[in-house]
Structure 1
Amino acid sequence: MGDVLSTHLDDARRQHIAEKTGKILTEFGRFYEDQYGVVLFNSMRHEIEGTGLPQAQLLWRKVPLDERIIFSGNLFQYQEDNKKWRNRFSLVPHNYGLVLYENKVAYERQVPPRAVINSAGYKILTSVDQYLELVGNSLPGTTSKSGTAPILKCPTQFPLILWHPSARHYYFCMMTEAEQDKWQAVLQDCIRHCNNGIPEDSKVEGPAFTDAIRMYRQSKELYGTWEMLCGNEVQILSNLVMEELGPELKAELAPRLKGKPQERQRQWIQISDAVYRMVYEQAKAHFEAVLSKLQLARPAMEATIRTDMDQIITSKEHLASKIRAFILPKAEVCVRNHVQPYIPSILEALMVPTSQGFTEVRDVFFKEVTDMNLNVINEGGADKLGEYMEKLSQLAYHPLKMQSCYEKMEPLRLDGLQQRFDVSSTSVFKQRAQIHMREQMDNAVYTFETLLHQELGKGPTKEELCKSIQRILERVLKKYDYDSSSVRKRFFREALLQITIPFLLKKLAPTCKSELPRFQELIFEDFARFILVENTYEEVVLQTVMKDILQAVKEAAVQRKHNLYRDSMVMHNSDPNLHLLAEEEEFWIQAHRGGR
């Protein structure tokens, strides 16, 4: 391996890679600084004006369940250095990073692990043929002929391979199909969690980062969803660099690789991984420096926003009115002809599997609590209740128990629509819905725990306890029904925006993009950090399609098959938590601005 890297990644090429990476990161940094000011202003305005989501019925954990082990067991792993398979004790802690130890004894003795895998951006493959096809596609002209030795031989029929377009690959195998299915569910949960790597509570840094990524790619005429917008900020930045750098390196180095097809494939995987690690370290240092600079500047920016909030809003609205007068006629025609007819089809494709998934979450929660109640009746009552509740508290984080919920999203297809709207993959929508499912399950469990704890304070008898558990379960399910309806409606709106807005921007770009610079003179220099012509233009485009999206979701809520609450179903004398807050357009603009 060292010879391969020293031959193809000499000092001159490493220097070129560093310079190219630095150029991309510097250009991205300018976008990030621009978006930071805009998102900071929007965030502070949002707090002051108080627009927001409908208030949830279910409670949520303010203190996460840390220090838990999600899963553990043995895996056979392929060692690339000696080309042998070794049995490894493997566990998944609460951060979902797969940890591999030499064996269980090494883990118990706290010997450092052999590997810790952050699986963001990876795909799970369940056959060597799938893997060989992807590897062959990654390096054209190296398809192995029949009868030649493949790049990887698995000792059993049940492999699990973690494949990444740039980083190193990991090879595992199991002894039985049941073990393969179990570990596939576990590793998929790791990928799902690690892909969602930007903290949800990041009100400024996270949305500014994702907006900057989108703006950077749009500046390269890359619209639509991006499959590699996954992981933490440094991983996403590394993927961004590799999106440009990878094809260039491949074109340059592929013809120079020697040996049989499988050997050249193996060399390319090693080279790509080495480059990815170099890029990652450079991206990490650059991102930390830019973020530190912005965080130092933030107090002064906040002071300006507080002082001049009204003037900034007035200035932005004046700019928006001028852009709207120019854009609206073209945008409305584009929406009417190219987007509006397809919204119901997109929505239906999203709603069917998503609603089935949330129904399954409800069913799994109901079954687990009902089983617990039966155990209380049959096996010792309140004495063992703590043990049962401990298991229940882990339910949302149990990959196997949640698998039936997650599987409901797998049939999601946008046939025909996917190509039309330049959706690279439906995985971004599947995983987002699955994360919502996990959150709603945990909220239901935590609400149940809290209400049951209050009931236990009354010292109930065994019979009273069982009745209380049943009563609390019914109460929590009603809250879950309402919350899951709100979450799904929000998810559908955001997904429709993610699909349609990039399409509209791309469609309008030839006639509108070149005209935008002339609007720059309408922005006061003092407010230029908080108002950008490009962002205001996108908001105007968003407003042209928002009415159709809101109307489509509202009409879908009437259809009983989706189990969505209509706003009109909420009684005026019911719990005040049930009343939906007004769906301000500004909120949905912000949801789009920060959405991933």
Structure 2
Amino acid sequence: MGDVVSSHLDENRREMITGRTNDMMKDFGEMYEQQYAVALFNSVRYEIEGGGGPQSQLLHRKDPLAGRSIFSGNLFQYLEENRKWRSRFVSVPNSYTINLYENKTAQERGLHPKVSINCAGYRALTSLEDYIELMNTSLPGIKAKVGNNPFIKCATEFPLILWHPYARHHYFCVMTEKEQKKWHAVLQDCVRHCNNGLPDECTVQTPAFTDAIRRHRQTKGHYGTWEMMCGTPPQILANLVMETLQPELRNMIGPRLKGKMQQRQRNWMLISDAVYKQVLTQTSTQYGAMVDVCEAQRVQLDARLRTDMDQIITSKEHVCSKIRAMVFPKVEPLLQSSIQPYISSILEALMEPTSRGFSEVREVLFRELVELSKNSLNGGGKEKLGEQMERLSMLAFHPVKMQSCYEKMEELNLEGLQQRFDVGSPYVFVSRAQILMREQMDNAVYTFEQLLNQSLADDDMCKSIQRCQDRALKKYDYDSSTVRKKFFREALLQIIIPYMLQQLSESCSPELPRFKELIFEDFSRFLLVENMYEEVVLQSVTKDIMMAVKEAAVQRRHNLYRDSIVLTNSDPNLHLLGESPQVDWAAKFGNNEPDGTVQERASTEGGGSGSRRRQVVSMIQLDGLPVAYESCLEVPGVDVIPEEDSKTTEETPEEHSEDEDTDQVPMSPDSVDEIRDLINPVVEVALPVSEEEKIRKTNVTQPTKGKLITEDGVQEDVTHITTVVDGAPKKSFRDKKSPQTDIQKLLGNGEQEGIVENQEEDDAKDKTQPEVLEDESATTVEIPVAESGSESPQVPTDSSSREDSGFQSPTNLESDDSVPQPITNGLNGEDKVIDPAEVEVLLA
């Protein structure tokens, strides 16, 4: 591989790449310095004059992922060095960097990862067909058919591929389809987070950088949205260099590549990755120096702005009025013919999937809160509440649970409008809407947490949860409407403004230089004619966009509401809670590290300290399992509230034990014995006993270790033996049926209602029948079996009696054929409700 890269990237070509990068950074540096002064002027003006707008009703969490990691598990990675697949332990910290280790032990010891992947600019794929289609665009004239294999052969039927237009690709695979979906959700979340753009907190650097990027691309004739505007500023600048450099290198190197089609594609990918790394190294160094120069001038510029702010604003208004008089006559015909007729159709295309996505966010939150209410009715106590709230607090950052919300937005279709307005891809809008969904979910969860923490002193926990739930959901409805309307306005501007600038460039751009004479030299650093021209064009279409969004809100289309003025003291209790620290539910109830919760040992971002951090996606990794079962979905799940719903009918027993079906009708155990049987299933074995042993062995439980092989060949671990003397008369051996026959008969009895009735009748019998254990003539061995992944049955919540809320707890009264139904089976005449996997077997 190194020979391929070095032979095609000799010293001359590397010097050429360095020179091209330096030229681009020099041009960009001049634009960035100009836009920095303008952004500082806008920031100081906003600070002085203030800005209005609807106030958020939900609280905002400052650092939601502090002390958390996102995910960890095992999968297979393709190693290009030896072209083989190897099992790797993957850890995703709160920075969303994918770290790959040799094994879990290496990660726990704090060793550096073998590979760290920053997912900015990547795309997560789950099929080789999609990957081949993207690879065919890498080299002109070299195209593979869909049926042909690329230069890798996947070890399983479930691949996961990270594709990048410039950097190296990464290949993984897993064992099951469900596993693939889970990992795909995690990889997509990593890509989404890294592509989120620059932080809004930087009120000067962020707008200066984005405006400089836009202006630089416009000078090259590129208008509109840009998919590679993702990652950190050095990464974005490297993408900007590669946008023009890669096609040139491809035309130079592509015809000289030798070998088969797949080999040439692979070699080109390695060459492109080497070029990208070289460019990224340069942009990182030069961007840091560029920012330092501008920041050194900030204090001086800020002082001048505050001294002459009134004169600068007056001068700007005067110049803008002159530009407006020149632009508006040319804008009006363009608006009437090419913009106004299409605003409503663009808005409708945006509103449909976006509103469905935000509605799904509300539904997911509602289901989780209803589950919380159900568990409070079962009397789980505050310790159980602490575990559930720990998991609920990270709901917004759970890739699998949020996947149903994100998928709604992926249905966005702007086809037809893309060609008219030269929109490259709807991916920019999809990604932005998904980030807003996550933010709103986290705000709603955080608001519910603070309200519930305030109400913990109340006696009725269930009513407190219901009040906090209704209050948080109402605030979510308002905020989600406000956020969506802002998103629609910004998306419309991102689609329309570049199209207008491109259409007006020939007639307006040549006249702009004459307006520079109207600006005083002292103010020329803060007032740029090009920026004021874009503001005038934006003002010309803003009224039409605002009216279209307002009309949709007045008509209540897609649950949009008209904005109302919300005063800071309108909700004083919640306003005060906004300054409260984040609630640590595990520490609050003294349950910092319960067994089987989402605690997972994960190293810090750099792979260093190996400190214990909570993991957002619940995962338990068991050592000693075969490689095929070390992946994230094949290991036993967490024995608490299901991490994700299992709704497929073709679910394997292992998968069902990990993710319990939430559609099953919950029931409450009626006695201590039934609770014990549900937690620790037993196998009863009747053995002959002498008269002397009857007296010596009576109701004695002894811990022991050993194996028991039942008649059907199942081997069970023995942890305890309880000896019970049974005096009941024994049936003849010929009257006994085999365990298989009993199981078949029991499996036929699957009516849920009949089971509940039988259970109630048996409970009544147990209360009236006297104990007969003392006169029994056989020894019964009671063997607790290892705990399964299923949950304890719970009492369903009945919210139909609440008159102050329109929300009801969703309960499913119909049995699901895909879920194993409880069966009744027992000895000594009673029936017990147990799982089919936990059948009592009576051996001769």
1:219 aligns with 2:215: no
Match of 2:89 in 1: 89
- CA offsets 1:467-498 (integer angstroms, 9 cap, x no match): 01100110111111111111011000000000
Match of 1:475 in 2: 471
Give 3-state SS (helix, strand or coil) of 2:111's partner. coil
- CA offsets 1:165-214 (integer angstroms, 9 cap, x no match): 00000001111111111111111111000001411211110111111101
Distance in 2, matches of 1:531 and 1:147, equals: 58
Cα distance change, pair 546–95 in 1 and its aligned pair in 2 (3 A): same
1:526 aligns with 2:522: yes
Distance in 1, matches of 2:344 and 2:67, equals: 44
Match of 1:496 in 2: 492
Which residue of the other structure, out of 546, 550, 554, is the alignment partner of 1:550? Answer: 546
Give 3-state SS (helix, strand or coil) of 1:138's partner. coil
Match of 1:516 in 2: 512
TM-score by length of 1: 0.94
Match of 1:590 in 2: none
Match of 1:583 in 2: none
Say which is worse superposed, 1-10 or 65-74, in terms of deviation: 65-74
How far 1:453 moved relative to its partner? 1.0
Please, which runs of 5 or more residues in structure 2 have no aligned partner? 573-844
Match of 2:185 in 1: 185
How far 1:560 moved relative to its partner? 2.7
- 1:106-505 residue pairs with structure 2 within 5 A? 106-144=106-144, 150-456=150-456, 458=457, 460-461=458-459, 464-505=460-501
Partner amino acid, structure 2, of 1:436: L
Partner amino acid, structure 2, of 1:530: F
Partner amino acid, structure 2, of 1:120: A
- Is contact 1:132–1:151 with CA below 8 Å preserved after alignment? no
- CA offsets 1:322-363 (integer angstroms, 9 cap, x no match): 101111110122112111110000000000111111111111
How far 1:114 moved relative to its partner? 1.0
Distance in 2, matches of 1:332 and 1:248, equals: 40
- CA offsets 1:99-135 (integer angstroms, 9 cap, x no match): 1111112112222111111111111221112212211
Cα distance change, pair 572–391 in 1 and its aligned pair in 2 (3 A): closer
Distance in 1, matches of 2:513 and 2:25, equals: 24
Give 3-state SS (helix, strand or coil) of 1:479's partner. helix
Distance in 2, matches of 1:211 and 1:73, equals: 41
How far 1:47 moved relative to its partner? 1.4
How far 1:147 moved relative to its partner? 9.0
Partner amino acid, structure 1, of 2:230: C
Match of 2:776 in 1: none
Give 3-state SS (helix, strand or coil) of 2:539's partner. helix
TM-score by length of 2: 0.66
Partner amino acid, structure 2, of 1:87: S
Partner amino acid, structure 1, of 2:130: Q
- CA offsets 1:279-300 (integer angstroms, 9 cap, x no match): 0000001100100100101111
Partner amino acid, structure 2, of 1:2: G
- Is contact 1:128–1:152 with CA below 8 Å preserved after alignment? no
Distance in 1, matches of 2:100 and 2:197, equals: 21
Cα distance change, pair 518–542 in 1 and its aligned pair in 2 (3 A): same
Cα distance change, pair 372–282 in 1 and its aligned pair in 2 (3 A): same
Distance in 2, matches of 1:559 and 1:170, equals: 48
Match of 1:588 in 2: none
Distance in 1, matches of 2:538 and 2:514, equals: 21
Distance in 2, matches of 1:53 and 1:119, equals: 34
Distance in 1, matches of 2:190 and 2:229, equals: 16
Give 3-state SS (helix, strand or coil) of 1:567's partner. coil
Match of 2:830 in 1: none
- Is contact 2:92–2:99 with CA below 8 Å preserved after alignment? yes
How far 1:141 moved relative to its partner? 2.0
Say which is worse superposed, 559-568 or 404-413, in terms of deviation: 559-568
Larger Rg: 2
1:538 aligns with 2:566: no
- Is contact 1:196–1:232 with CA below 8 Å preserved after alignment? no
Say which is worse superposed, 139-148 or 500-509, in terms of deviation: 139-148
How far 1:571 moved relative to its partner? 9.8
Please, which runs of 5 or more residues in structure 1 have no aligned partner? 578-596
Distance in 1, matches of 2:110 and 2:328, equals: 63
Distance in 1, matches of 2:507 and 2:122, equals: 38
Partner amino acid, structure 1, of 2:554: V
Distance in 2, matches of 1:345 and 1:441, equals: 28
Distance in 1, matches of 2:493 and 2:350, equals: 13
Distance in 2, matches of 1:160 and 1:61, equals: 33
- Is contact 1:448–1:476 with CA below 8 Å preserved after alignment? yes
Match of 1:59 in 2: 59
Partner amino acid, structure 1, of 2:245: L
Distance in 2, matches of 1:37 and 1:576, equals: 39
Give 3-state SS (helix, strand or coil) of 2:57's partner. coil
Distance in 2, matches of 1:488 and 1:145, equals: 42
Distance in 2, matches of 1:3 and 1:155, equals: 27
- CA offsets 1:373-427 (integer angstroms, 9 cap, x no match): 2112215222322111111111000001111111110110112101111111101
Match of 1:18 in 2: 18
How far 1:567 moved relative to its partner? 3.4
Distance in 1, matches of 2:277 and 2:453, equals: 49
- CA offsets 1:250-290 (integer angstroms, 9 cap, x no match): 01111111111111111100000000000000000110010
Q: Cα RMSD between the aligned structures? A: 1.7
* Higher relative contact order, chain-length normalized (CA < 8 Å, sep 6+): 1
Say which is worse superposed, 493-502 or 111-120, in terms of deviation: 111-120
Partner amino acid, structure 1, of 2:110: Q
Cα distance change, pair 186–63 in 1 and its aligned pair in 2 (3 A): closer
Distance in 1, matches of 2:172 and 2:525, equals: 50
- CA offsets 1:133-158 (integer angstroms, 9 cap, x no match): 21122101222479976312111111
- Is contact 2:54–2:566 with CA below 8 Å preserved after alignment? no
How far 1:87 moved relative to its partner? 0.9
Distance in 2, matches of 1:211 and 1:222, equals: 14
How far 1:67 moved relative to its partner? 2.5
How far 1:561 moved relative to its partner? 3.8
- CA offsets 1:53-83 (integer angstroms, 9 cap, x no match): 3111000112333221111111111001110
Partner amino acid, structure 2, of 1:257: L
Distance in 1, matches of 2:397 and 2:216, equals: 35
Partner amino acid, structure 2, of 1:153: K
What is the percentage of aligned positions where both structures have the same residue? Answer: 62
Distance in 1, matches of 2:381 and 2:557, equals: 39
Distance in 2, matches of 1:395 and 1:150, equals: 38
- Is contact 1:70–1:94 with CA below 8 Å preserved after alignment? yes
Give 3-state SS (helix, strand or coil) of 1:140's partner. coil
Distance in 2, matches of 1:132 and 1:420, equals: 29
Give 3-state SS (helix, strand or coil) of 2:75's partner. strand
Cα distance change, pair 311–151 in 1 and its aligned pair in 2 (3 A): same
- Is contact 2:197–2:229 with CA below 8 Å preserved after alignment? no
Distance in 1, matches of 2:357 and 2:379, equals: 32
- Is contact 2:224–2:423 with CA below 8 Å preserved after alignment? yes
Give 3-state SS (helix, strand or coil) of 2:136's partner. helix
Give 3-state SS (helix, strand or coil) of 1:69's partner. strand
- Is contact 2:166–2:276 with CA below 8 Å preserved after alignment? yes
